[in-house]
Amino acid sequence: MKLRVLVVLLLFLSGVWILSCQSKSKLEQNSSWSGEMQSMAKEVYDLLPFVYSPAKFKQNENHEEIAKKIEALEKTIHQLPEKTGEQMLGEDHIVGFTLKNLKDDVERSLVIFNEGNKEYARTVLRNSLNYCFRCHTRTNYGPEFKRWGFDVNKMAISPTSKARLLVVTRQYEAAQKTLEDYLTTKTGFYNKPFEQENALDYYLSLMVRVQQNPTQAMAVFKQVKDNPNIPVYLKESVAYWMKSLKSWMAEKKKVISFTEAKKLIKKARSISQWQSLDSANVEYLRASSMIHDLLIKEKDPKNRAEMFMYLGDSYDVLSKNGYWELPELYYESCIKENPGRNSISRKCFLGYERNILLGYSGSIGVLVPAVEKEKLLKLKKLAGLAQ
């Protein structure tokens, strides 16, 4: 009897030890990833005064300092543990995609800068921050950097640029306030239509995916809708968003499941069938955010492929919200995850092919580069569609 009790006790303690080791490992992963991201935020912070000031960026006396700061950012990005990111966030291909493109752009900007084409280097650096924006608005997972030590609002840049920088450094509350202040000022939307439409899109993404606060979004959109200077097409889109937000607010409990995500996408397609595509943005944002969350734990290739397909479909509609390359990324991931002749691979290849052909179409026809044609053929074979 005593022996049996001793064995049970030893087994129990072994189990506790294993669990504690696993918890410690997870904690170390979180700490490593968070620490590296904080380091990258600091390097971005150091570069911002130059990147958003054409005059400072071009001045010869600043050349050595700027080059060192770009090199420091490049080094930090290379130290980011991609595998740790995947373990924490799931094998969501946006992680690898973001890090690869960020590395490529920062490396390229340094070469261009040292060659003397400083304005182009500045543009590449500024645009590279979009990769961070896309990753940081996929879900509300991750810490918020509340004390960053730099007042973006004092910079002489547009409200959407300020909000994007605040999101890049995960200062979500500040980004929300910046966009709300801008959107609720009753100025004429025709003065800066592109800027104001972008502000609406960014605000919607922030409030649905990160803040997950339909009540506050409703209050702001009501003020926007009541603005007599808003264009009719934007007023109609905002009205549909408000209907969707109201429906969301009426839900009794929060459900995160693939079934629920597919229901939302089905509803989105029904809405946009008779209205503009962006009228269903709330549903697409909610559904894609759920799928990103579910990908953290999903291991089955067929399920993952289907999830990638729905993400590709969602980002096809949401691309102008700052998610341009993501449809092709997820359609390609879908085919590679579950290759062969099947309905999911076929749908994903059709989506990928359509986007590539449309992307390279122009007034003189469709001019697809040889490297893209080669990739199309490989994916076509992989999807079991080549003759």
* Tens-place pLDDT, residues 247-256: 999 998 888 9
Check: CB of residue 265 under 8 Å from CB of residue 314.
yes
| Mean pLDDT for the stretch of residues 67-76 | 86
pLDDT at 108: 86
Task: Provide the pLDDT for residue 84.
Answer: 55
Q: What is the pLDDT of residue 126?
A: 80
Name the token pair of 188.
């004429």
Q: How far from 239 is each of 45, 50, 206, 346, CA to CA, in Å?
A: 37, 40, 18, 36
Residues ≥6 apart with Cβ < 8 Å to 366: 357, 360
- The predicted structure's pLDDT at residue 34: 59
Category of 254 on φ-ψ map: left (φ > 0), alpha (ψ -120 to 50) or beta: beta
How many CB atoms are closer than 10 A to CB 22? 10
CA 282 – CA 271 distance, rounded (Å)? 11
Is residue 305 scored above 50 in pLDDT?
A: yes
Most confident of 125-129, 130-134, 260-264: 260-264
Tokens 């590449």 correspond to: 124
Q: What is the mean pLDDT of residues 274-285?
A: 88
Q: Which spans in the chain are helix H?
A: 2-51, 54-58, 63-79, 82-89, 94-115, 118-136, 159-168, 172-183, 193-205, 214-225, 232-249, 258-274, 281-295, 301-318, 326-337, 343-359, 370-382
The whole-number average pLDDT for the span 299-312 is: 94
* Per-residue pLDDT, 36: 61
- Which has more confidence, 138 or 370? 370
What pLDDT is attached to residue 81? 63
What's the rounded Cα separation, in Å, for the pair 152 and 79?
Answer: 26
Residue 266 has pLDDT above 80, yes or no: yes
Query: How high is the pLDDT of residue 50?
Result: 85
Cut 0.85: pTM above it: no
Across 101-111, average pLDDT: 85
Dihedral over alpha carbons 324, 330, 331, 337 (to 10 degrees): 160
Tokens, residue 27: 């904690």
Average predicted confidence (pLDDT) for the chain: 81
Q: What is the CA radius of gyration of the chain?
A: 23
Confidence of residue 137 (pLDDT cuts 50, 70, 90): low
Q: Looking at mean pLDDT, say which of 11-15, 226-230, 283-287 comes out highest.
A: 283-287
Confidence of residue 186 (pLDDT cuts 50, 70, 90): confident
Residue with more model confidence, 33 or 196: 196
pLDDT value of position 16? 35
Tokens of 184: 């609720």
Q: For residues 232 and 46, which has the higher predicted lDDT (pLDDT)? A: 232
- With a cut of 70, say whether residue 199 has pLDDT above it: yes
- Asked whether 345 and 377 are in contact (CB, 8 A), the reply is no
The region of weakest confidence among 36-40, 63-67, 288-292 is 36-40
More confident of the two residues 349 and 234: 349
d(CA 230, CA 172): 26
% of the chain at pLDDT higher than 70: 78
Q: What is the pLDDT of residue 286?
A: 96
Average pLDDT of the residues in 136-146: 56
